[in-house]
Each structure stands twice: as C-alpha cells, then as structure tokens.
Amino acid sequence: MSAVLLAHASASGGGGGGGPNVLLMVAGLGVVAAALGLRARHGASALRMGALLLVGIAVLALGLVSTGEKRPEVTLTVLSPDAGTSVRPDQPVPVSVDVKGGKVAGSPTDSGGHLHLSVDGKLEQMPYGTTAEVRLPRGTHTLRVEYVDEKHTSYEPPIAVEVRVHAF
C-alpha cells in the first residue's frame, strides 16, 4: 500500500493543490495504524477497531480522490500568431496570450499563475507575463500555451490552448 501512496503523492502535484491530498493520506494511515495498535496493545473490541479502521480507510480514500484547491475558471486565447499562419523559419515569432479569469505573475516574486509555452510537445519557455517569442524551424508546428499554478503545476484537466503554425 505504501508504494501506491508514494506513487500517488508524487503524481498528485497536478491539480493545483497536491499538498492536501498527501496530508489526508497520511492522516488516514495514522488512523489505520492507531486502530491496529489499539487492538494489539489493549485488546480493544473488534467493533471499536473496525470502526477506527473504517474511518482511517475513508480518510485515506478521500486523500486519493480529493484535488485540494479548486481548479480556477481561466480561459486562454492566443492573440498571435493566428492559427494556420505562415511564418518565416528561424525568425522571431511573437506569441501573445489573453488570460481571462486568472492572474499571471509578472516576475518570480509575484503571486498568480504562470504560462508554459510548448512547441511540438516540448516545453520551450515559462514566461512571466502574457507575451513571449519563439523561433520555429521549417515545418508545421503546434504551439501550446498552458496556465499553471504558482508552483508551475498543471491543473487537472489542464487549462491550455493550442494553435498550429507553418514555418515556410
């Protein structure tokens, strides 16, 4: 069971609030351990131990399914480049994004979400603010902009938008 918890704890960073998940899982394990210890040390009744086990398992399960922080209602729109646009290969391509419903940090010390800019599935930049610039090699490319939490963790489901651009 601990392997499952460790795997979930490391994966639960997504969703913008993995911390509460881990705390609930640890609390659930603590209650289960206390129930088993109570039975072993004090010969507690099966009913009392069963009730504690049930509570511990319920708290543990809540930690496995709880998302912690609520996913914000953020909408992203790529203002430039337009989808389907042709750009010159290996030349600077300005990327501009409109963010509605969320704050974007303007520096490492600001609070608010962040944008991750990927090209063809590879993270290229984590700009502070809503503008960036990329250089694209010859070919057709997918630009993806994702809004992530203050710790640069994706929400579940992700808050993202994509546009395809041709560099010819």
With b for 16 or more beta-carbon neighbours within 10 A and e for fewer, the 29-46 pattern comes to bebbeebeebbeeeebee
pLDDT of the residue at 15:
45
Structure-token match 């974007």, residue found: 104
Domain definitions of the chain by residue range: 2-65, 75-167
With b for 16 or more beta-carbon neighbours within 10 A and e for fewer, the 102-126 pattern comes to bebbeeeeeeebbbbbbbeeeebee
Q: For residue 24, which phi and psi values (nearest 5 degrees)?
A: -65, -40
pLDDT tens sequence across 5-36: 333 333 334 444 444 555 566 676 676 677 67
No. of helices (H) and no. of strands (E), the chain: 3, 8
Which of 140, 127, 122, 137 is CA-nearest to residue 95? 127
Which of 15, 50, 3 is CA-nearest to residue 151? 15
Contact 167, 143 (CB under 8 A): no
Read off the pTM.
0.62
Record the tokens describing residue 140, joined without a space: 């057709």
pLDDT tens sequence across 92-142: 999 999 999 999 999 988 989 999 999 999 999 999 999 999 999 999 999
Assign a CATH topology to domain 75-167: Immunoglobulin-like (2.60.40)
pLDDT of the residue at 87:
97
pLDDT tens sequence across 34-46: 767 766 666 667 7
